[in-house]
Amino acid sequence: MHWIELDLGAWDAEKPLRLLLDGYTDYFTATSMYAADQAGIKVIRALCGGAGRAGKLETRRRGHGFSGGAGANDGRGPYGENSSGDTAHSNRIEFEKIYWDAVRIDQTPPVEGIKVREVPLATASLAYLGYRKRYGCNRRAITVYSYSHRSPTGPYARAAGNYTRYGDVKNLLGSADDQFAVFGSGEGVELEFDPAGLPALPAGWTRDYFSTRMDSRRIFDFYAAYAFTVEPLPKHGLVSYPYEAGKEYPLDDEHLRYQMEYNTRSRSDRLPGNLRYTYTAPK
């Protein structure tokens, strides 16, 4: 465990106080979790604390969570949206392996009159995209990839099992349920949205776009359950995994039809690892 301590200086107690953190962390793996458990080390999520009224360090919020992957922004309200002026200015964030890149304070007042509109999904197509070129690590020991330079081959493994066939998968992505678009390394879903129904912006207004998704990821790891097969498929919702007896992925007519219609691309083994790399610049 280690920590950073921040002195926020003077701030307006009449406004919200938010802490914005840019950083990077590695995801846990089943092997690292198993090794940690053998060593008696328990994984915890970040803690947020600071000096109390008597000057004693106290924890104000547990289980902060952390950003996932490179270049992620982690917005936190360490004192809540309505902080008291009696709250100390210092703040301590305790965590395990996290690389912080930027720490910012925001006191922007709540904006009134924001309007939220949904932009419908127009098309969703599953396709083979190739493998990103890796440039090694930058000065912060973060692996850097090029999304515009791709190779059609690469030494990447794929789980054995049935994947979703290429082509239109829009019907699978309209809602969060138990019907997923299943694809492996080197593949991806290309999405298009239709903004035609959005009204014209009033004078002085700006528009931002946000995208949300629900997904599940299978990681190749010796200690992970069913790490090397596509099945059992994930089930939407908070359920234990591996599934308990009698609560396996549903085999009712609806889900059988989904699998027979969409998950028709079968792979019996992982790709060979000695293929030659060939990168081409995009046209």
158 in the same domain as 100: no
Assigned domain for 132 exists: no
- Identify the DSSP state of 244: P
Residue 246 lies inside a defined structural domain of this protein: yes
Assigned domain for 218 exists: yes
Same domain, yes or no: 160 and 252: yes
The predicted structure's pLDDT at residue 145? 78
Q: Say yes or no to pLDDT of 169 above 90.
A: yes
The total domain count for the chain is 2
Domain boundary among 40, 71, 106: 106
Asked whether residue 166 falls in the same domain as residue 260, the answer is yes
Question: Residue 214's pLDDT band (boundaries 50, 70, 90)?
Answer: confident
Answer yes or no: is 170 within a domain: yes
Tell me whether residue 274 is in a domain.
no
Give me the pLDDT at residue 93, please.
63
This model's pTM is above 0.85:
no
Tell whether 100 and 159 lie within a shared domain: no
| Integer Cα distance of 137 and 85 in angstroms | 44
Strands of the chain, DSSP E: 2-7, 18-24, 47-51, 57-61, 72-76, 90-95, 99-106, 121-128, 131-137, 143-151, 161-163, 167-168, 187-193, 265-267
> Is there a single domain that holds both residue 176 and residue 249?
yes
Whether 27 is in a domain gets the answer: yes
User: For residue 8, what are the domain limits?
Assistant: 2-106
User: What does the mean pLDDT of the chain come to?
Assistant: 75
The answer to which of 65-74, 154-163, 208-217, 225-234 has the lowest mean pLDDT is: 65-74
Regarding whether 178 and 94 lie in a shared domain, the answer is no
Please indicate, yes or no, if residue 149 is contained in any of the structural domains. no
Once rounded to an integer, what is the mean pLDDT over residues 4-32? 78
Same-domain check for residues 87 and 179: no
- Comparing 48 with 254, the larger pLDDT belongs to 254
Q: Does an H or E element contain 33, and which? A: helix 30-38
In a domain, 275, yes or no: no
Please report which confidence band the pLDDT of residue 18 belongs to, taking 50, 70 and 90 as the band edges.
confident
Better-scored residue on pLDDT, 238 or 123: 123
Assess whether 84 and 25 both reside in one domain.
Answer: yes
Q: Region 127-136: what's the mean pLDDT?
A: 84
- Per DSSP, the three-state class of 173 is coil
Please count the residues of the chain: 283
H or E, element range at 31: helix 30-38
The more confident residue out of 106 and 272 is: 106
Q: How far, CA to CA in Å, does 35 sit from each of 5, 99, 172, 197, 239?
A: 30, 22, 38, 53, 25
Mark whether 162 and 256 lie in a shared domain. Answer: yes
